[in-house]
């Protein structure tokens, strides 16, 4: 599994929509690209799974084809030096980018940042657009007894949303090695 630390803002999810009749040529281009990556398995209903768990999913909604690439799959494509070719493949036909997540990682302790962000957002001091962003959070305790977890700004259907989470704690909870302080903002 490839682990990514995004020291600069990086795309961490990409979904495109395309007319259904142009989805097949796009999927053919993606197929030839991902078939060169060791350990990739095709789904019978459309898409591919990487050994890391990353997914490229293909589906349709009415007259529209939808192709989504998870953050873990994008990491795998970058590691295989195929990210540029993937972007060329998905943009080879008429399309719209319908979801693009950007992520930035900071080597900073997350608990204090997350608590401050949650308080400031609930006081109306944080805006992602022209209105204050409502805040929700998932909280757990780390080994030091500090509250940590994830803070979400913006409603589920909002066009602009933010999630800030303690990636260090996430990895420790999964039994993985301690990466040191790690805050991700998406």
Task: Give the pTM.
Answer: 0.81
> How confident is residue 3, by pLDDT bands cut at 50, 70 and 90?
low
> How confident is residue 1, by pLDDT bands cut at 50, 70 and 90?
very low
Average pLDDT estimate for 114-123: 95
pLDDT at 159: 87
Average pLDDT estimate for 35-55: 90
What's the mean pLDDT when you consider all of the chain?
Answer: 92
Query: CA geometry: angle at 17 spanning 99 and 51, to 5°?
Result: 70
**Maximal CA-CA distance, the chain:** 55
């Amino acid at each position: 599994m490839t682990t990514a630390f995004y020291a600069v803002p990086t795309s961490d999810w990409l979904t495109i929509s395309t007319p259904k009749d142009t989805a097949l040529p796009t999927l053919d281009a993606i197929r030839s690209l991902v078939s060169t990556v060791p350990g990739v398995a095709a789904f019978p209903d459309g898409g591919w799974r990487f050994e890391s768990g990353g997914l490229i999913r293909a589906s349709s909604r009415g007259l529209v084809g939808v192709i989504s690439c998870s953050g873990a799959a994008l990491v795998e494509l970058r590691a295989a030096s195929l990210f540029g070719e993937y972007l060329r493949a998905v943009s080879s036909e008429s399309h719209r980018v319908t979801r693009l997540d950007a992520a930035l990682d900071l080597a900073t302790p997350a608990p204090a940042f997350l608590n401050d962000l949650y308080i400031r957002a609930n006081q109306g001091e944080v805006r992602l657009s022209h209105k204050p962003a409502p805040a929700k959070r998932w909280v757990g305790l780390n080994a030091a007894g500090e509250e940590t977890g994830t803070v979400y700004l913006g409603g589920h259907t909002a066009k602009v949303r933010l999630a800030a989470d303690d990636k260090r704690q996430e990895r420790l909870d999964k039994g993985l090695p301690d990466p040191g302080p790690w805050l991700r903002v998406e």
